[in-house]
Amino acid sequence: MILKKGKVLPGNVLKVDSFLNHQMDTSLFCEMGKELYKLFKDEGITKILTIEASGIGIAAVVSLSFGVPVLFAKKHKSKNLVGDFYTSKVESFTHGGVYDILVSKDFLSKDDRVLIVDDFLANGNALVGLIDLVNDAGAVVVGAGIAIEKGYQGGGDKLRERGIRVESLAIVEKMDSESGEIIFR
């Protein structure tokens, strides 16, 4: 699907909005869910965690394979959040700047074993923010299931070096916005 429908844009951006993060191919998401379930089925996962907005569709369909709820971190602009939330900060790859993410303490606890699901892994900032949230809750990060990792940006490998199990269904090793060429790891 990436080779058939993906477009390489200047600035290291892979546009996959015809099937992944604008229009959504839910049959493909279903296959992704089956694959992630094969990889993580023995881990006792109790919750899928993602981040709004483009992770939600994928995570919702993937959660059907696991039979567990899906929780998404909300993005919030305010710098002084109060209330019963776990929060952390994420630097945005696509929009620039830093934003807060939060999840309610009602929905994450120390008994949870969490699989993080997201559409893209680039520098890894989104994932690090989500991992911090889960750690804050005292829950366990079992791993991350990613649709597309851009391997050359290094975020995935940094997290693997930290001992986080990162399973990406596709890893782009190289892409060229002039020729449109995409090479996978």
Q: Nearest distance from residue 118's CB to ligand 5GP, in Å?
A: 5
Region near ligand 5GP per CB under 6 A, out of 11-19, 59-67, 97-105, 159-167? 11-19
Choice between 83 and 178, CB closer to ligand 5GP: 178
Member of 13, 28, 64, 171 binding ligand 5GP (CB under 6 A): 13
HSE-up (13 A, CA, CB side) for residue 149:
25
Give the angle 58-4-65 at the CA atoms, nearest 5°. Answer: 25
Chosen residue from 57, 124, 145, 151 binding ligand 5GP by CB under 6 A: 124
Q: Do 147 and 118 form a contact (C-beta atoms < 8 A)?
A: yes
Number of residues near ligand 5GP (by CB under 6 A): 19
**Closest approach of ligand 5GP to the CB of residue 35, in Å:** 19
Q: How many CA atoms lie within 13 A of 48 on its CB side?
A: 27
Any contact of residue 54 with ligand 5GP (CB under 6 A)?
Answer: yes
Q: Which of 66, 85, 86, 120 binds ligand 5GP (CB under 6 A)?
A: 120
Torsions phi, psi of 126, nearest 5? -60, -45
Closer by beta carbon to ligand 5GP, 111 or else 173? 173
Residue in 54, 95, 92, 99 with CA at minimum distance from that of residue 72? 54
Does the protein bind ligand 5GP through residue 155 (CB under 6 A)?
yes
Beta strands in 110-163 (DSSP E): 113-121, 140-150
Tokens 């394979």 locate to 65
CA 154/CA 139 separation, integer angstroms = 26
Q: Is 123 in the site for ligand 5GP (CB under 6 A)?
A: yes
Query: C-beta of 38: minimal distance to ligand 5GP in Å?
Result: 23
User: What tokens does 9 get?
Assistant: 């844009």
> Under DSSP, is residue 59 helix (H, G, I), strand (E, B) or coil?
helix
119 is a contact residue toward ligand 5GP (CB under 6 A): yes
Does 164 interact with ligand 5GP (rule: CB under 6 A)? no
Residues that bind ligand 5GP (CB under 6 A): 13-15, 21, 54, 93-94, 118-127, 150, 155
